[in-house]
């Protein structure tokens, strides 16, 4: 039987772990490590975004792991985040 769905608040109250995990559509799953190709692409995109945002003083960019909450109550660690 699968585990019951979980809200973001419930997930954030669980014990911390050193294992990479993510809450996806209410279910906790172990997040696999990204491939080296993925990491290279993320690094290049991050640098382009950071340069642009810094030059135009128009926002910030972060690399994961960074938890974000998206409606409806889902927390998904994205590879690159920008907020303007």
pTM of the entire predicted model:
0.56
- How long is the chain? 84
Instruction: Give 33 or 78, the one with higher predicted confidence.
Output: 33
CATH number for the 8-83 domain, one of 3.40.190.10, 3.20.20.70, 3.90.1570.10, 3.30.230.10? 3.90.1570.10
Instruction: Give 5 or 84, the one with higher predicted confidence.
Output: 5
Q: What is the pLDDT of residues 41-79, one digit of tens each?
A: 999 999 999 999 999 998 888 887 776 665 554 555 666
84: DSSP letter:
-
Q: Which residues of 31-55 are buried (b: 16+ CB within 10 A; e: fewer)?
A: eeeeeeeeeeebeeebeebbeebee
C-alpha 39/C-alpha 1 separation (Å) is 35
């Amino acid at each position: 039987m699968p585990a019951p769905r979980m809200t973001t608040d419930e997930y954030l109250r669980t014990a911390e772990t050193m294992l990479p995990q993510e809450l996806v559509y209410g279910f906790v799953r172990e997040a696999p490590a990204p491939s080296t190709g993925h990491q290279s692409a993320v690094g290049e995109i991050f640098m382009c975004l950071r340069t642009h945002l810094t030059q135009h003083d128009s926002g910030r960019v972060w690399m994961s792991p960074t938890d974000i909450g998206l409606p409806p109550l889902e927390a998904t660690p994205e590879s690159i985040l920008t907020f303007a």
